[in-house]
Amino acid sequence: MRTVRFLLQKEFRQIFRNRAILAMICVMPVIQLAVLPWAADYEVKNVNLAVADHDHSTFSQQLINSITASGYFRLTGYNGSYQEAMHLVESDQADLILEIPAGFERNLVRENQQKLFVAVNAINGTKANLGGAYLAEIIKNYNQRIRTELISKAGEPIHAIEITSSNWFNPLMNYKVYMVPGILAILITMIGGFLSALNIVKEKEVGTIEQINVTPIRKHHFILGKLIPFWVLGNVVFTLGLIVSWVIYGIIPAGNLAVLYAFISVYLVSVLGFGLLVSTFCDTQQQAMFIMFFFMMLFVLLGGLFTSIDSMPEWAKTVTRFNPVRYLIEVMRMVILKGSGMKNILYHLGIVTLFAIGLNSLAVLTYKKTS
């Protein structure tokens, strides 16, 4: 234990002398949590709409007003021909075209039917799908309202189905509430992984690793001395992230904080072990940075932060099972938003524990204690 205590004292001194590490621990989580949830917002609003109105009737004006009043669309062109509206799409001034044919109001009143044409700029697939779906829903609601008015004028009874809905776990359906726990999970992974990966490599570059290698320090003591300081810092970053989430977004964990910290403690051991494993194979900090960046990109993209795992192809779903970030993001959302308890995350905890044991064991075995 004296050996481990000596190594811990050495590591903590090096950490507190390094201003870059302190800035990464204290400043980076605050800035990224304050900025990223606003940028990583998949709510589609202000879709640019061009209307080619050939009818110029009261009904067509009511339809256009219903669309613009929804808050999802911004009218960028009110044209008399489809060609003029298409020109706006080609010049990136419009995302959708709604063509209202001549006789729109007359056909609705006399024949109870009328066709509309919608053209969508599908370069941005997500925006095209959501924008088209929003527009179709607004037109559907408008059509239902018009039919109700016509039926009531005819004196016939109106049969309606009333729907009462309730939004669980995110009552205001705020996308930032969904994103913040995932972004915090990525921050913990990046800080823990990069710092631990660069640590041993830095010892190699400055030559202190050779001085340590000629001492009777055992390999597992050396790895433990490298792991514990960054494990402590990882918990500090997590605590800071929870405070920032509460101050800026008003997010208070619905579940038990002890459950969160228990999982984070095991998860940090796994991600730090991965960083130490990478550092044992690298001779320079540049090599370690490139390797960690490669894996971090895979972890983030296949972790379920931006894309739902259920929407991924089967081969990607299989890959995500070997991605520790996936389990952290799921647990963060389960505990913070849903209030899940320990029994609900036992499966995730078991998988991450296996990662922690396997990666740290490999780090100890692959570390070559040579002078």
**How does pLDDT run across 191-247, given as a tens digit for each residue?**
899 988 888 888 888 777 777 766 777 877 888 888 888 899 999 999 999 999 999
Task: Round the average pLDDT of the chain to a whole number and report it.
Answer: 86
Tell me how crowded residue 135 is: count the other CB atoms within 10 A of its CB: 21
Distances (CA, A) of 361 to 11, 18, 148, 261: 21, 28, 70, 23
pLDDT digits (tens, 9 = 90+) for 59-78: 899 999 999 998 889 999 99
* pLDDT, tens only, 294-315: 999 999 999 998 888 988 999 9
Distances (CA, A) of 239 to 41, 63, 78, 177, 248: 24, 50, 52, 17, 14
**What would the pLDDT profile of 122-145 be if each residue is shown by its tens digit?**
887 777 888 888 898 999 888 888
Domain with CATH 3.40.1710.10 in the chain: 47-153
Instruction: Tell me whether strands 117-120 and 96-100 are parallel, antiparallel or unpaired.
Output: antiparallel
Out of 119-128, 178-187, 319-328, which region has the weakest mean confidence (pLDDT)? 119-128
- Interhelix angle 219-249/2-17, rounded to 10 degrees, is 50
pLDDT of 266 = 97
340, 339, 341, 331: which is closest to 252 by C-alpha?
Answer: 339
Task: Supply the pLDDT for residue 109.
Answer: 78
Outline where the chain has alpha helix (H).
Answer: 2-17, 19-26, 28-39, 58-69, 82-90, 104-111, 125-153, 175-206, 208-213, 219-249, 257-281, 285-301, 314-320, 324-333, 346-366
Task: Say what the pLDDT of residue 370 is.
Answer: 54
Q: Is the pLDDT of residue 42 over 70?
A: no
User: For position 161, what pLDDT does the model report?
Assistant: 54
Identify the CA nearest to 331 among candidates 255, 230, 232. 255
Highest mean pLDDT among 48-57, 143-152, 360-369: 48-57
pLDDT at 218: 80
Measured in degrees and rounded to the nearest 5, phi and psi for residue 14 equal -65, -40
pLDDT of residue 4 exceeding 80, the answer is no
C-alpha to C-alpha distance for 119 and 96, rounded to whole angstroms? 6
Please state the CATH superfamily assignment of the domain spanning residues 47-153 in this structure.
abc type-2 transporter like domain (3.40.1710.10)
Distance CA 229, CA 21 (A): 12
pLDDT of amino acid 324: 95
**Cβ atoms of 268 and 237 closer than 8 Å:** no
- With cut-offs at 50, 70 and 90, classify the pLDDT of residue 248: very high
Neighbours of 17 (CB within 10 A): 9
Q: Measure the CA–CA gap between 173 and 152, rounded to whole angstroms.
A: 35
pLDDT at 284 over 70: yes
* pLDDT on residue 336: 94
275 or 110: whose pLDDT is higher?
275
pLDDT class for 159, splitting at 50, 70, 90? low
Is the pLDDT at 100 greater than 80? The verdict is: yes
Q: Give the pLDDT band (50/70/90) at residue 371.
A: very low
Q: Is the pTM of this model over 0.85?
A: no
Percent of the chain with pLDDT over 70: 93
Query: Can you tell me the mean pLDDT for 340-361?
Result: 95
Which percentage of the chain shows pLDDT scores above 90? Answer: 43
What 3-state DSSP class applies to 12?
helix
Q: What is the mean pLDDT of residues 324-328?
A: 96
